[in-house]
Amino acid sequence: MDTLLTAAATLAFLLLFLGLGAWVFISLALVATSALFFLHGMDLSRIGSIAAGIIYRYSTSWELSAIPMFIWMGEIIFRTDISTRLFRGLSPFVDYIPGRLLHTNVLGCTLFAAVSGSSPATTATVGRITTRELGQRGYDDRLSLGSLAGAGSLGLLIPPSIVMIVYGILAEQSISRLFAAGVLPGLMITALYSGYIMLRAKLDPGLVPATRERRSAMDFLRALWDLAPLVVLMTIVLGSIYTGIATPSEAAAVGVIAAIAIAAVTRQLSLTLLRDTLMGALRTSTMVCSILITAAFMSTAIGYLHIPADVADGIASLNLPPWGLLVVLSLFYLGLGFFLDGTSIVVMSLPISLPLALQAGFDPIWFGVYLVLMVEMAQVTPPVGFNLFVLQGISGRSISYVARAALPFFVLMLVGVALLAVFPGIALWLPNFFYG
215 DSSP 8-state letter:
-
Give the integer Cα–Cα distance in Å for 20 and 52.
25
- Confidence check: pLDDT of 427 > 90: yes
Lowest mean pLDDT among 85-89, 126-130, 259-263, 374-378: 126-130
Give the integer Cα–Cα distance in Å for 36 and 41.
6
Within-domain flag for 23:
no
Residues above pLDDT 70, as percent of the chain: 92
Whole-number mean pLDDT of the chain? 83
- Confidence check: pLDDT of 326 > 70: yes
> What pLDDT does residue 199 have?
94
Task: Work out the pLDDT band at 415, boundaries 50, 70, 90.
Answer: very high
Contact between residue 238 and residue 252 where contact means Cβ atoms under 8 Å apart: no
Residues 6+ apart with CB under 8 A from 18: 24, 27
Contact between residue 146 and residue 409 where contact means Cβ atoms under 8 Å apart: yes
SS3 158: coil
The whole-number average pLDDT for the span 329-351 is 75
> What pLDDT does residue 2 have?
66
State pLDDT tens for residues 95-133.
888 888 889 889 888 888 887 767 777 777 778 778 888
Within-domain flag for 372:
yes
10 Å Cβ neighbour count for 425?
11
State pLDDT tens for residues 8-37.
777 777 777 767 777 767 887 888 888 888
C-alpha pair distances (Å), 289 with each of 67, 134, 163, 417: 8, 37, 11, 28
- Confidence check: pLDDT of 348 > 80: no
Question: Does residue 419 or residue 334 have the better pLDDT?
Answer: 419
Within-domain flag for 17:
no
Give the integer Cα–Cα distance in Å for 179 and 427.
10
* pTM, to two decimals: 0.77
State pLDDT tens for residues 206-250.
888 877 777 788 888 988 998 888 888 888 888 887 777 887 778
Within-domain flag for 320:
yes
Within-domain flag for 54:
yes
Contact between residue 325 and residue 356 where contact means Cβ atoms under 8 Å apart: yes
> What pLDDT does residue 275 have?
92
Within-domain flag for 95:
yes
- Confidence check: pLDDT of 383 > 80: no
**Full residue range of the structural domain in which residue 205 is found:** 2-12+31-435
The stretches of 117-174 forming alpha helices (DSSP H) are 119-136, 141-152, 162-171
> What pLDDT does residue 197 have?
93
10 Å Cβ neighbour count for 414?
14
Question: Does residue 43 or residue 11 have the better pLDDT?
Answer: 43
The pair phi, psi for residue 360, each rounded to 5°, is: -80, -5
- Confidence check: pLDDT of 272 > 50: yes
User: Nearest to residue 122, comparing CAs of 93, 147, 156?
Assistant: 156
Task: Work out the pLDDT band at 285, boundaries 50, 70, 90.
Answer: confident
Give the integer Cα–Cα distance in Å for 200 and 268.
39
Contact between residue 309 and residue 47 where contact means Cβ atoms under 8 Å apart: no
Give the integer Cα–Cα distance in Å for 237 and 250.
9
State pLDDT tens for residues 149-197.
888 888 778 887 878 888 998 888 988 899 899 999 999 999 999 999 9
Within-domain flag for 290:
yes
Task: Work out the pLDDT band at 1, boundaries 50, 70, 90.
Answer: very low
Residues 6+ apart with CB under 8 A from 322: 360, 361, 362
Task: Work out the pLDDT band at 88, boundaries 50, 70, 90.
Answer: confident
* Count: domains in the chain: 1
The whole-number average pLDDT for the span 296-305 is 77
The whole-number average pLDDT for the span 362-371 is 94
Task: Work out the pLDDT band at 198, boundaries 50, 70, 90.
Answer: very high
> What pLDDT does residue 340 have?
64
Q: How many residues does the chain have?
A: 436
- Confidence check: pLDDT of 357 > 60: yes
Within-domain flag for 19:
no
Task: Work out the pLDDT band at 313, boundaries 50, 70, 90.
Answer: low
Question: Does residue 315 or residue 259 have the better pLDDT?
Answer: 259
